Homo-oligomer: A and B are copies of this chain.
Amino acid sequence: MSDQKAVGRPRSAEVDEKLKRAALKLVRERGYRDVSISALIAEAGVSRQSLYNRWHSKADLVLEALTDDTEGLVQLPDPARAGSAQAALRDFLHGIFRHLALDGTTLRSLIAAAQEDPAFREALRTRFVEPREEIVTALLARAQSAGELPAGRDIRMLSAFIHGAFWYRLLNGLPLDEDTARDIAAAIFAP
């Protein structure tokens, strides 16, 4: 797990930073599709090869820039604090939706990019999708133990329903707002 290479010129951390900053800035102001690699390296002031030394594609760079920026934002909500598991789920979803007001369109583009690139699909899954899946699954499991959810319910399928509804609305251009968060939570916990 230690550094592989103690030989050769070391990577410049500054170049990393410049590229990630340029990526976030340009993607947010022009949109993912309209940011070319050429524009990225021009904005960052680095060479083309320096980008490809670090990432395989624009999608890879933007994913890292985005996850760096939202670190520590996704965490398991406390049902006791929220009042109930249903309220905790609602608040958790609402928090995610609020954050997507800024980067939702970029996330859509990343999901799109993942469809044509298996390696990036894997990266998106491990860095973005799975952490959120685990939180929801844990929340539902706790709710089921506490009796807030009937014992017969299929936790993993309910988790797929929640994330699926989220993706479905995101990718179809439907709004993700507080009402949506409330309705999803209500439907999951419906008797």
Partner-contacting stretch, out of A61-69, A87-95, A183-191: A183-191
Inter-chain CA distance A152–B186, complex, in Å, is 11
Q: Knowing A157-B184, A160-B169 touch, does A152 contact B111 (C-beta < 8 A)?
A: no
Q: Interface extent on A, as a size class?
A: 35 or more
State the Cβ distance, A131 to closest chain B Cβ, in Å.
14
In the complex, the answer to whether A115 meets B118 with C-beta atoms within 8 Å is no
Copies in the complex: 2
User: From residue 138 to 171 of chain A, which have CB atoms closer than 8 A to chain B?
Assistant: 150, 152-154, 157-158, 160-161, 163-169, 171
* Interface residue? A21 (CB, 8 A): no
- Chain B contacts of A129 at CB under 8 A? 172
**Minimal beta-carbon separation of A25 from chain B (angstroms):** 20
Whether, in the assembled complex, A135 has its beta carbon less than 8 Å from a beta carbon of chain B, the answer is no
Interface residues of chain A: helix, strand, loop or mixed (majority) = helix
A165 touches B171 (CB 8 A): no
- The contact of A172 among B108, B125, B166, by CB within 8 Å, is B125
Decide yes or no whether A41 CB sits under 8 A from chain B: no
Decide if A33 is an interface residue (CB 8 Å cutoff).
yes
**A168 near B173: Cβ-Cβ < 8 Å:** no
Instruction: Closest B residue to A156 by CB, please name it.
Output: B183
Q: A residues near B, CB below 8 A?
A: 32-33, 108-109, 111-116, 118, 121, 125, 129, 150, 152-154, 157-158, 160-161, 163-169, 171-173, 183-184, 186-187, 190-191
